[in-house]
């Protein structure tokens, strides 16, 4: 098999679905098993990927292992995985789990890759940062790239950047969702119907993000293009500045980064 998934929960199943639907990997070259949640049979039926009753059986036929369990489940893996993954490439999507911890569980893997996806990966629109224990050989780099590109785009980083990555892009979708909710509620306060306010907020965020990506200009440049002297946007931005909007975002990201560092230390 090209990819063997230990864990078939929400993220694991989303990655498998993306691999199959994008034609990156035939379902027959993907295998999966569950630990305790019993999700693998349903995923196997839906996507026609291969179902394995045990981790041992799965690993006997695999070359690349995708670790898609909950971080707290890592300690419950059968000790036999250390030998079963001898010579395998291991790709982890476990949040807050450093390479050193992964190496304790997979000491004989040929390489270990730590990734940090975010929730838009569920629809192929995510951004995933990754780092590897050792320099990836060309063949392994292709395997990693095929997997991560099924979730959206990817960017290589050093492991010391992972806590900051978690704070910016890992937790980042929650900040965007909160902003949309706040803009919706503000629209209601201004007199709009809730449904109309939500549609306006959502489509404004979507359109602005697309414009920013397409024009490849600094966000400050595009902000200034919307801002007329003594206009409505100036009035709104002045309130954001008084409320220390950027300072609050900075504090939020640093709080998330600090928490990620705490979790990484166990």
The domain that contains 145 carries what CATH number? 3.40.50.720
Instruction: Clarify whether residues 66 and 98 are in a common domain.
Output: yes
Contact 17, 138 (CB under 8 A): no
Residue 165 lies in a domain: no
Of 126, 158, 190, at which residue does a domain stop? 158
Q: From the centroid of its chain, how far is CA 73?
A: 19
Instruction: Clarify whether residues 109 and 75 are in a common domain.
Output: yes
Predicted pLDDT of residue 78: 87
pLDDT in tens, 144-188: 999 999 989 999 999 999 999 999 999 999 999 999 999 999 999
Residue 164 lies in a domain: no
Instruction: Clarify whether residues 28 and 150 are in a common domain.
Output: yes
Of 129, 158, 187, at which residue does a domain stop? 158
Read off φ and ψ for residue 111, nearest 5 degrees: -165, 155
Predicted pLDDT of residue 56: 87
Distance, CA of 46 to CA of 8 (rounded, Å): 12
Distance, CA of 50 to CA of 59 (rounded, Å): 12
Contact 141, 215 (CB under 8 A): no
How would residue 122 be classed by pLDDT, with cut points 50, 70 and 90? confident
Of 124, 158, 192, at which residue does a domain stop? 158
Instruction: Clarify whether residues 125 and 222 are in a common domain.
Output: no
Instruction: Clarify whether residues 187 and 255 are in a common domain.
Output: yes
How would residue 35 be classed by pLDDT, with cut points 50, 70 and 90? confident
Tally the domains of the chain. 2
Instruction: Clarify whether residues 190 and 111 are in a common domain.
Output: no
Count of residues making up the chain: 266
Instruction: Clarify whether residues 153 and 175 are in a common domain.
Output: no
Distance, CA of 43 to CA of 110 (rounded, Å): 28
DSSP reduced 3-state for 178: helix
pLDDT in tens, 94-108: 988 999 999 999 999
Instruction: Clarify whether residues 17 and 113 are in a common domain.
Output: yes
Average pLDDT, the chain: 94
Residue 184 lies in a domain: yes
Give residue 248's domain range. Answer: 170-264
- Residues 6+ away with beta carbon under 8 Å from 76: 35, 36
Task: Give the percent of the chain with pLDDT over 70.
Answer: 100
DSSP class of residue 260 equals H
CA angle 66, 103, 72 (to 5 degrees): 65
Instruction: Clarify whether residues 79 and 174 are in a common domain.
Output: no
How would residue 189 be classed by pLDDT, with cut points 50, 70 and 90? very high
Record the pTM. 0.89
CATH number for the domain spanning 246: value is 1.10.3730.10
Predicted pLDDT of residue 96: 85
């Amino acid at each position: 098999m090209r990819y063997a998934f230990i864990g078939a929960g929400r993220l694991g199943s989303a990655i498998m679905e993306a691999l199959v639907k994008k034609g990156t990997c035939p379902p027959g070259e993907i295998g999966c098993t569950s630990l305790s949640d019993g999700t693998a049979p349903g995923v196997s039926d839906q996507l026609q990927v291969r179902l394995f009753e045990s981790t041992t059986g799965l690993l006997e036929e695999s070359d690349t292992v995708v670790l898609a369990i909950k971080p707290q489940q890592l300690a419950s893996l059968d000790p036999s995985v250390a030998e079963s993954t001898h010579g395998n490439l291991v790709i982890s999507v476990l949040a807050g789990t450093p390479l050193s911890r992964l190496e304790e569980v997979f000491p004989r893997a040929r390489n270990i890759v730590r990734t940090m996806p975010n929730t838009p990966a569920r629809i192929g629109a995510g951004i995933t940062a990754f780092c590897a224990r050792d320099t990836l050989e060309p063949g392994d780099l292709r395997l990693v790239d095929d997997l991560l590109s099924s979730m959206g785009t990817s960017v290589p980083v050093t492991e010391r950047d992972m806590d900051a990555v978690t704070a910016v892009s890992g937790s980042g979708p929650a900040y965007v969702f909160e902003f949309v909710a706040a803009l919706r509620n503000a629209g209601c306060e201004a007199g709009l119907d809730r449904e109309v306010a939500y549609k306006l907020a959502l489509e404004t965020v979507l359109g602005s993000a697309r414009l920013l990506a397409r024009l490849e200009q600094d966000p400050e440049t595009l902000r200034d293009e919307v801002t007329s002297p003594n206009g409505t946007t100036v009035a709104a931005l002045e309130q954001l500045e008084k409320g220390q909007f950027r300072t609050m975002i900075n504090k939020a990201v640093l709080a998330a980064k600090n928490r990620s560092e705490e979790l990484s230390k166990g």
